[in-house]
Amino acid sequence: MSDTDAASLINSLDSFEKEAQHILSDALSEEQIEQARVNFLGKKGHISLLLRKLGSLSADDRPSVGAKANSVRQNIETWIDTRLAAIEQNKRHKELSQVVDTSLPGKSFPCGSLHPITQTSERILAVLNRLGFQRVSGPEIEHDFFNFEALNIPKSHPARDMQDTFYIEDDIVLRTHTSPVQVRTMLAQKKPPMRVVSFGRVYRRDHDVTHSPMFHQIEGLYIDKNVTFADLKATVKAFIEGVFSAGCAMRMRPSYFPFTEPSAEIDMACFECKGKGCRLCKNTGWIEIMGAGMIDPNVLRAARIDPEEYSGFAFGLGVERVSILEFGIPDIRLLFENSERFLSQF
């Protein structure tokens, strides 16, 4: 091939460059730009077909024609990018320049709020914190020793049937109460005084309108020298007044719990009818709110605390029960169904 043939290819490249510049400067859409890219830079485009002729050129001519082809390709790619950016900017400008009626109501989005269980538990924990109780925590998957045996509930004890336990293995359970946290705390601190509160999820085989297989408990524990039942009564009284209302009446009924002796059920005056009797309190004027009692000496011994030197009390309540009573929730299952319509009321 002669020098004239090399010059002819360079002239063709100049023509392609001018033609591409003209087409791209007039392109008004991304589709037109893409078509130009295919025509000039595609596998079967003008420049690609021209470059196939490089092999027929002399060794001296190939570098100059190749350099010219690369220059033209780069210029076309630059014009494509510039034109695409201009089209995108123009499109954005048109969108922003549209007339907006600012008098139209805006879109409303639902506003979240704290779950009723969270509201109740935070209020209870705040009251206990003011009474000097420090929060502690423990595992939800618990060993039989901490969940039962250390709490004076041996394997043959009928109270195990009351708990209706979820067993993972023979000696591994989903904790049925938060009392194991108290045992772990006593073993960890080794020596009183200690005033702690545990809060968390617990599990039992129970599921109906007033019971859930998973629910939340809060338990308080106080151990020191010369702690008496009078201290328990004063603490529970201050707790009820702090959570519900000042001057709220309470009463203590004898009861039984394996890990406390003596034990008591704590009732408070119905906050709906003020003790007169209504549907909420089943016309008794009283609402059962928690269980409590003096820590059984066997529990202290299991935690390596001398019951001859120290004594203490414990009390516990279900958070869901307080939420149901306070908010008038008819079915405990509503608390776990995650219905936006239900939760928006709180």
One DSSP character per residue, 305-317 reads --TTT-EEEEEEE
* Number of independent structural domains in the chain: 2
Q: What is the pLDDT of residue 210?
A: 66
The CATH number covering residue 186 comes to 3.30.930.10
Q: What is the pLDDT of residue 222?
A: 96
- The Cα–Cα gap between 200 and 138 comes to 8
User: Domain containing 91: what range?
Assistant: 3-96
Cis peptide preceding 180, ω within 30 of 0: no
Residues 88 and 192 in one domain: no
Q: What is the pLDDT of residue 226?
A: 94
Relative orientation angle of helices 116-130 and 229-243, to the nearest 10 degrees: 130
Residues 183 and 219 in one domain: yes
Strand partners, 201: 216
Residues 20 and 134 in one domain: no
* Global pTM value: 0.65
Residues 250 and 163 in one domain: yes
Does 103 map to a domain? no
Other CB atoms within 10 Å distance of the CB of residue 253: 11
Does 185 map to a domain? yes
Q: What is the pLDDT of residue 177?
A: 92
Length of the chain: 346
Residues 150 and 206 in one domain: yes
Q: What is the pLDDT of residue 277?
A: 79
Which parts of the chain register pLDDT below 50? Answer: 1-4
- pLDDT (tens digit, 9 = 90+) per residue, 150-177? 998 888 877 777 668 888 988 899 999 9
